Amino acid sequence: MAKRKRKTQKKKPLTAFQIFFLGIVTGLALYWIPLDHDFSPAQFSENPIAAPVSVFAKHPPITAPLIEREGYTLAYDGRTRNAHWVYHKLTAEGLEKKTSRTDCEFQEDPLIPKHIRATKKDYQGSGLDRGHLCPAADSPSQTAMEESFFLTNIAPQAPSFNRGYWKKLEKHIRELTKHYPIVHIFSGPLYRKIKGRNGKHYVKYEVIGKQDVAVPTHFFALIFVEPPSKKMQVKGYILPNKSISSKVSLSKFLVPVEEIESASGVLFTQILSPTKT
């Protein structure tokens, strides 16, 4: 026997009344669903802050805390737990002052909140040195010497670099005071890009300790000298944070000031030519 084909009935479209009624039912259902506490306005009452409403107009967020000490000034980067830059100046007279690092110890900087502060434990077992940015040997007083050991003036350096070529550069800068009355130095860490196997560029660096202290890929030194009767002169260097043979000429690492500014994001020469664009 041949089977009869069943006729398929087309569904009738919803009427305007049915759509209206369905909307009401859906709305009531959503109204009675318990809201996630994160989306409740009541949660803000749990975290009161004793500050006036206009606080942000007068006190914007602090992007780079500035620290001024007897021997140096620095701008701090809370993301990397290192300084953006450290500034200090040298004179022949200042280098003649007697100082001793015998009783000096590395220490956390109390001026930086604990949750963005490097600690001595972060360096333990890392295989890296606690490298000075403003050298201890450049300290014009014993107080300045002791303050140079705050970890805000320190950055992770490869031991062979810290005790080798970086130390050689520091000595060279001190020698400049024999030829110039004042030598101004900015130094700091850099995190430079590398090219991956896929041809794309990446910024990659190691972090150490519980505080995730960043290990710079490079360091820069920007040196301004004041000749007796001429305009300020400047030289800039970028060095990789790794072992460098002492036979390598310092000129190999000489770079334009703009390259250091581009890599660091800091406009150092604006203090000399503020109208520069």
In angstroms, the Cα distances linking 72 to 69, 121, 133, 148, 150 are: 5, 24, 10, 8, 11
In a domain, 110, yes or no: yes
In a domain, 143, yes or no: yes
d(CA 86, CA 67): 9
pLDDT digits (tens, 9 = 90+) for 50-71: 666 677 777 788 899 999 999 9
Which range marks the domain in which residue 87 is found? 67-271
In a domain, 9, yes or no: no
CATH number at residue 88: 3.40.570.10
In a domain, 204, yes or no: yes
In a domain, 225, yes or no: yes
Neighbours of 82 (CB within 10 A): 26
Just list the catalytic residues: 132
Beta-ladder partners of 208? 213
pLDDT digits (tens, 9 = 90+) for 74-130: 999 999 999 999 999 999 999 999 999 999 999 999 999 999 999 999 999 999 999
In a domain, 36, yes or no: no
In a domain, 239, yes or no: yes
**pTM for this predicted structure:** 0.81
Tokens of 215: 């290990």
In a domain, 60, yes or no: no
- For the chain, the domain total comes to 1
In angstroms, the Cα distances linking 166 to 4, 191, 219 are: 94, 17, 9
